[in-house]
Amino acid sequence: MFARTFPKGRRTDFGLRISGFFRPSSFGLRIPAGVLAALMKAAVKFTTQWLALLVLAGCVSSGRVHNASPITAPKPFDLDLIWVKTSSALPDLAAEKRMLNDALVSSLRESGLFREVSGDKTELGSGSGITIEAEIKEVRKISKDTRLWAGAMAGRARIRVQVRISDFNSGNQLETFEADGESSTGSALAGTTDEAVDQAAAEVVGQVLKINAQTAK
C-alpha cells in the first residue's frame, strides 16, 4: 500500500496533494529536510538524557530496612552503651563480618550520641544500653579486580543482614529487622562488597538512632 509516482498536482493513494514538500517514493512520502533534522536532533537529545539517567542510576548505591518489628524499649531508656556483635553461618565471610562490625562501631561513635560503643564487651563499662546482633544472611561479593575488569557487567554487590537489638543488661528483645545494602555499578574505586556493607551498616545505624529518639527522656 505504498504511494505511486504521479505528476505534480494529482492526488496519491493517500489523498495527499503532491507538492514540493511531499514527494512520493517507492517507500512512501519523503519528509522535508528541516523536519527530518529536527526529529533527529530530538531523538539524539532523548537518547542522551536516557543514557545519562541509566549511568546515574548505576552510580548510586542503596540500602533499605524491611520486616521490622515494633520497638518495645521502655520510656525513658538510657542508651549509653552499645555492644556490636556480627556473625554469619555462611562460609568465607571473615572479611565481611569484620567490615560490618567496624562500620557499625565507627558510625555509632561518630554520631556522638552514645557514651561507649564497642565490638568487645570487656571494653564497655556499666550502665544501660543495647546489644546489636548483626548476622549476615546473604551476600553477593564484587571485588575491586572484578569491577576493574568487568565494569558494570559485574552487576551489583549485595548483602542482607538480620539484626536483633536487645537490652544490654537483661537481654530482652527490643527490635528485629533486616537491613539490605547494595553497591553501585561504578568504577574500580566503587561498586564493591565494601560499599554494600557500608550501606547495610548505615541502615542499621539509622534504626538505632530511631530507637534512641523514641526512648529519650
Q: Domain ranges in the chain?
A: 61-215
Average per-residue pLDDT in the chain?
78
**CA distance readout (Å), 192 to 89, 143, 181:** 22, 6, 11
Domain spanning 61-215, CATH architecture: 3-Layer(aba) Sandwich (3.40)
* Cα distance from N-terminal residue to C-terminal residue, the chain: 80
| Helix-strand-coil split of the chain, %, nearest 5 | 35, 25, 40
User: What residues have CB less than 8 Å from 98, skipping those under 6 apart?
Assistant: 86
Per-residue pLDDT reduced to its tens digit, 69-127: 999 988 888 899 999 999 999 999 999 999 999 999 999 999 999 999 999 999 999 99
Q: What pTM did the predictor assign? A: 0.69
Would residue 28 be called left, alpha or beta, if left means φ above 0 and alpha means ψ between -120 and 50 degrees? left
Given CA atoms 7, 12, 18, 24 in this order, what sign does their dihedral have?
A: negative
Task: For residues 9-37, give the mean pLDDT.
Answer: 51
